[in-house]
Amino acid sequence: MAAYPNVNAAQKYARDVVGGRIVACSYVKAACARHLDNLKSAKAKSYPYRFDRDKAERACKFVQLLPHTKGEWARGNQRIKLEPWQLFSFAMVFGWVRKKDGFRRFREVYEEVPRKNGKSIKVAGAGLYSFCADNEYGAEVFCGATSEKQAWEVFRPALKMARRLPSLRKRFGIVPWAKKLERTDGSVFEPVIGDPGDGSSPSMSIVDEYHEHPDSRLYDTMITGMGARSQPLMWVITTAGFDIAGPCYEMRERAIEMLEGTSQDDELFAIIYTIDVGDDWTTDDAILKANPNAGVSVKLDYLKSQRDKAVARARLANKYKTKHLNVWVSSKEGFFNMEDWKKCEDRSLTVDQFRGEDCILSFDLARKLDMNSMARLFKRVIDDKTHYYCVSPRFWVPEDTAFDGEDRRLSERYQGWIASKHLDATDGSEVDYREILECAKEANLETPAQESPIDPHGATNLSHQLDDEGLTPITIVQNYTNMSDPMKELEAAIVSGRFHHDGNPIMTWCVGNVVGKFLPGNDDVVRPIKQGDHNKIDGAVALIMAIGRAQSGTKREKSIYEETEL
């Protein structure tokens, strides 16, 4: 009778998580419960999948024959030992197959694990298994990344493993080169920066730290190239990040919808190690819940030390939450809670629902060479509480900036939004303010503009033209006096659910990029700034100015404070 020690350990892990014997977040519990439920479903002939313990055990055994490549385990010439949580992932990915042909069920893997939990060496082992032992003739395994350094984070340990194991090289005919591994059957394992070359047909693609990718181009290209493979595998493994407008967060949302049962995706395996909403992030339990390898590859004392520093120094809190608890924070020192912002999203909102109502039409006209924005804000009083609605904001950027800008990542982001029709590109190297004026005039016909706050650093001519069209431009200097109260009101409205938006991805990105700069000596007075030129906040600034005018309720003349930089 065959023995399955690794599969048994993986199964026990799933049962212990679901049974509450292992502390885990709701997403890990859902992943484990899904497997246990699927095992029951697999007993029915109509269910298309089954769990192959032999294949799962084989993959787990293969990886544990590989050597460690750095640290104390490498010095001791120790082999990799997969912990129960790692065995669970390996068993799921390589054990579940289709009943009709025995090929692998899961084609995509999304795994979120905090730093120092052995991500890279784990997927390096998975890559070597797919390269050598996955019964894929002419396998092509790629470690995809946006930079050479990141691509090598996974490939380097795989290369070292192959070099340290003559028995592995001999058994599978592996030839290690400086920058790739090859086999005599034409199989290749190599790092890829950007898109793989024409003619590539990945059998497995590994994307490490997907949160750093500005768009999904590399991921999409890899997936497209897998069409000729019988059981291709795309494995994304990442920590949380700061960009909730990026492709990684989008995939995370897709994974969560699957785990929570709101959507079905039978070919996606996902597991997310983090803390739950409402958990006290300062506790030891939070550390254990988010870090499955705590006490193994990452020392508990180290994690507690990082936690204590974050508690003592507030500016370190978001970094600690993101990198060690896997909590997504939109900016390293983000002012707004973006989880609450997402809860305020209502994609059913349209301008037609507000047609004929007065609005605030606000403009942030940063520079002619950069992004410009227009926010349209409505206010309604419901049960004596003020609710705000941001609907159909508009954004413009010069075509040259979008397609030939110096910041490649920013240009790629712009191009994606242009393709999705969320961003308008005006011809040439400068924003054409005539297009903004025409858009404002159309908006004014749909929903009359009560006021149009505009920053004084924008186009003076446009301000006069808005005045000529009856849009009542109000010059707002972006100082503490003008921005603090509306910024805090927006924060309060988001947290309390009094704010509503239509899910525009650029507005979400801008709001997420806002960092609060507090008045020295007064933590109650704040204004918005950005962290780095690539983190634009134009849309958020326009929105905050609109909130400020909506708060006032009545038109008034500009005050001395609006004219003075404070």
The torsion angles phi and psi of 159, rounded to 5 degrees, stand at -65, -45
Give the model's pLDDT for residue 350.
95
**pLDDT tens, 245-288?**
789 998 998 999 899 887 889 999 999 999 998 899 999 999 99
Give the model's pLDDT for residue 14.
98
- 223 and 235 Cβ atoms separated by less than 8 Å: no
Rounded CA separation 223/238 (Å):
18
Rounded CA separation 494/540 (Å):
13
CA 465 → CA 200, 436, 470, 505, 508, distances in Å?
54, 11, 9, 29, 29
* Confidence grade of residue 461 (pLDDT, cut at 50, 70, 90): confident
CA 333 → CA 211, 319, 524, distances in Å?
17, 8, 16
User: Cα angle vertex 326, ends 323, 329, to 5°?
Assistant: 80
Average pLDDT over residues 84-107: 97
341-563 placed in CATH 3.30.420.240: yes
**pLDDT tens, 479-514?**
999 999 999 999 999 999 999 999 999 999 999 889
Equal fold, 5-272 vs 341-563: no
**pLDDT tens, 228-237?**
899 999 999 9
How large is the angle between the packed helices 53-63 and 5-18, nearest 10 degrees?
100
Give the model's pLDDT for residue 368.
63
Amino acid 180 reads: K
Give the model's pLDDT for residue 331.
57
Strands (DSSP E) found in 322-420 = 359-365, 372-382, 385-390, 394-398
Average pLDDT over residues 330-353: 84
Rounded CA separation 162/461 (Å):
66
Kindly tell me if the per-residue pLDDT of 396 is higher than 80: yes
Give the model's pLDDT for residue 172.
93
> Following DSSP, what letter does each residue of 107-151 receive, concatenated?
SEEEEE--TTSSHHHHHHHHHHHHHHSSS-TT-EEEEEESSHHHH
CA 389 to chain centre: 25
Q: Which of 112, 145, 127, 139 is nearest to 231 (CA)?
A: 139
Q: Which residues of 351-375 are buried (b: 16+ CB within 10 A; e: fewer)?
A: beebeeeebbbbbbbbebebbbbbb
* Confidence grade of residue 564 (pLDDT, cut at 50, 70, 90): very low
**pLDDT tens, 107-144?**
999 999 999 898 888 999 999 999 999 988 999 999 98
Q: Which residue has the tokens 């994304």?
A: 236
Give the model's pLDDT for residue 161.
93
Rounded CA separation 540/527 (Å):
11
Kindly tell me if the per-residue pLDDT of 560 is higher than 80: no
Which of 192-206, 291-305, 463-477 shows the lowest mean pLDDT across its residues? 192-206
Domain ranges of the chain: 5-272, 284-329, 341-563
* Confidence grade of residue 72 (pLDDT, cut at 50, 70, 90): confident
> Following DSSP, what letter does each residue of 225-275 receive, concatenated?
HGGG-SS-EEEEEE---S-TTSHHHHHHHHHHHHHHTSS--TTEEEEE---
Rounded CA separation 446/536 (Å):
28
Q: Is 474 exposed, middle or buried (0-12, 13-18, 19+ CB in 10 A)?
A: buried
Amino acid 207 reads: V
Kindly tell me if the per-residue pLDDT of 534 is higher than 90: no
Rounded CA separation 239/220 (Å):
20
Residue 375: strand pairing partners: 362
Average pLDDT over residues 358-369: 84
Under CATH, which architecture does the 5-272 domain have?
3-Layer(aba) Sandwich (3.40)
| Mean confidence (pLDDT) of the chain | 89
- Per residue, the 3-state secondary structure of 485-547, as one string, reads HHHHHHHHHHHHCCEEECCCHHHHHHHHHEEEEEECCEEEEEEEEECCCCCCCHHHHHHHHHH
Rounded CA separation 63/76 (Å):
18
How large is the angle between the packed helices 538-552 and 480-496, nearest 10 degrees?
90
* Confidence grade of residue 345 (pLDDT, cut at 50, 70, 90): very high
Kindly tell me if the per-residue pLDDT of 367 is higher than 70: no
* Confidence grade of residue 458 (pLDDT, cut at 50, 70, 90): low
Q: Which residue has the higher pLDDT, 412 or 27?
A: 27
Which of 74-88, 230-244, 513-527 shows the lowest mean pLDDT across its residues? 513-527
Q: Which residues of 66-93 are buried (b: 16+ CB within 10 A; e: fewer)?
A: bbbbeeebeeeeeebebbbbbbbbbbbb
Rounded CA separation 233/217 (Å):
17
Average pLDDT over residues 412-425: 90
CA 291 to chain centre: 19
